[in-house]
Amino acid sequence: MTQYAEKVITAQPMPNKILLGPGPSMAHPRVLQAMMQSMIGYLDPDFIEVLDEISGHLKNVYKTNQSTLAIPGTGSAGMEAGLSSLLEPGDKVIMCIYGFFCERMVEMGERIGANVIPIRAEWGAPFPEELLEEEIKKHSDVKLVTAIHGETSTGIAQPLEGISKIAKQHDALFMVDAVTTFSGRNIEIDNWNIDYAYSASQKCLGAPPGLSPAVVSDRALETIRNRKTKPVSWYLDLELLCKYWGEERVYHHTAPVSMLYGINEALRIVMEEGLETRFERHRINAEALNAGLQAIGLNAVAPQGSRLEQITPVWIPDGVDDMEVRDMLLNEFSIELGRGLGDFSGKVWRVGLMGESSKQEYVLTFLSAIESILSRVGYEVAQGAAVAEATKIYNTYPGKKKS
């Protein structure tokens, strides 16, 4: 019998790791426990109650009164559902591009046959709204504008209200990727006039990957209903998905029951903690992490004031081998650290502090481990400096929730 087969049959537990990459982040034990509940039919009244509860929590976190649902699939499914439902071949979409995941949207839009107009700006800085203003004026028929709230590849927190305003002035729909920020940073769907947003269960929510919690505005649904052609994807057709999640409860697909138990528990945990407290926990841990990293010369890619709390990409010092350090962290300390993507491949490390992974104990453990490793791979660090600086930050927040 192969080692793998043995593992499956005896269900040996996977080793515990400290997940400080771009996701999945640590799953809350209550979420994993919830996923072990009995199987149930996807139209069973008891299960419908679970769906209703999830919808309600999503409305609270997204700050919306519009339709909420959890799309089967990861964050990319949420992205594809939005683009393929809102766009028909030839439709104009302006995409604000400032990182790796923005480029993924371009790829998807082109595959759908939309008329994609990418506005490319510098990676590692917030997208300048003026570029959108200049471009959108040149067209009379832009159907959709897209942006990413937290560009995970660069660590940029993108302000959305200005972009939304410009889109609305030109009568375009506005779609937002909230994969990295949902439940870790404030997002206000209705106040900010967002027509469609999606996230992923494995980031700040602290559940396993496999669901994309999303929100669709009435206006977006109306646009989908009025399409001349059917969306290219049947499975990711937002109108059909919303009919299962809405009052009609029309069968669409076999709902991933256990995943939905899991996300429901994750959302309960979010509401128990409270959104503001949760956002603040993410802020404090990110501030301590940044202070620690800076103390040993690991500089953040994103400028202060535009940094995401959820993920911190830092430049890898000259002469230090990316893989060697990440391997040492994993093998010696069981800590997963994220690698750079696209243009930043081999140039940055990405430290993720999302949901259950955003804890003081992990920040201090990581800083201590990276200090030790860097000094052993020939990069001189003042031992203890990172932990000392991070501790100073923590001491300025007595009585605040950090774990």
Ligand X SMILES: Cc1ncc(COP(=O)(O)O)c(C=O)c1O
Binding site for ligand X (CB under 6 A): 22-23, 74-76, 79, 101, 148, 152, 177, 179-180, 200, 209
d(CA 159, CA 173): 17
Q: From the CB of 76, what's the least distance to ligand X, in Å?
A: 3
> In the complex with ligand X, which residue's Cβ is closer, 262 or 292?
262
Structure tokens belonging to residue 11: 């269900």
> In the complex with ligand X, which residue's Cβ is closer, 67 or 153?
153
Q: From the CB of 154, what's the least distance to ligand X, in Å?
A: 10
> In the complex with ligand X, which residue's Cβ is closer, 92 or 350?
350
Q: From the CB of 309, what's the least distance to ligand X, in Å?
A: 14
Q: From the CB of 125, what's the least distance to ligand X, in Å?
A: 16
d(CA 369, CA 367): 5
Look-up: residue for tokens 């919808």? 55
d(CA 361, CA 351): 14
Contact in structure between 352 and 155 (CB atoms under 8 Å): no
What is the full DSSP assignment across 230-258? --S-STT-HHHHHHHHSTT----S---HH
> In the complex with ligand X, which residue's Cβ is closer, 67 or 181?
181
Q: From the CB of 332, what's the least distance to ligand X, in Å?
A: 26
Closest among 385, 359, 354, 352 to 370, alpha carbons compared: 385
> In the complex with ligand X, which residue's Cβ is closer, 68 or 180?
180
Query: Would you call 49 exposed, middle or buried from its count of C-beta atoms within 10 A (0-12, 13-18, 19+)?
Result: exposed
| Residues paired with 145 in a beta bridge | 94, 174
> In the complex with ligand X, which residue's Cβ is closer, 180 or 285?
180
Which residue's CB comes closest to ligand X? 75
Q: From the CB of 176, what's the least distance to ligand X, in Å?
A: 10
Contact in structure between 164 and 149 (CB atoms under 8 Å): no
d(CA 34, CA 269): 12
> In the complex with ligand X, which residue's Cβ is closer, 143 or 149?
149
Q: From the CB of 115, what's the least distance to ligand X, in Å?
A: 22
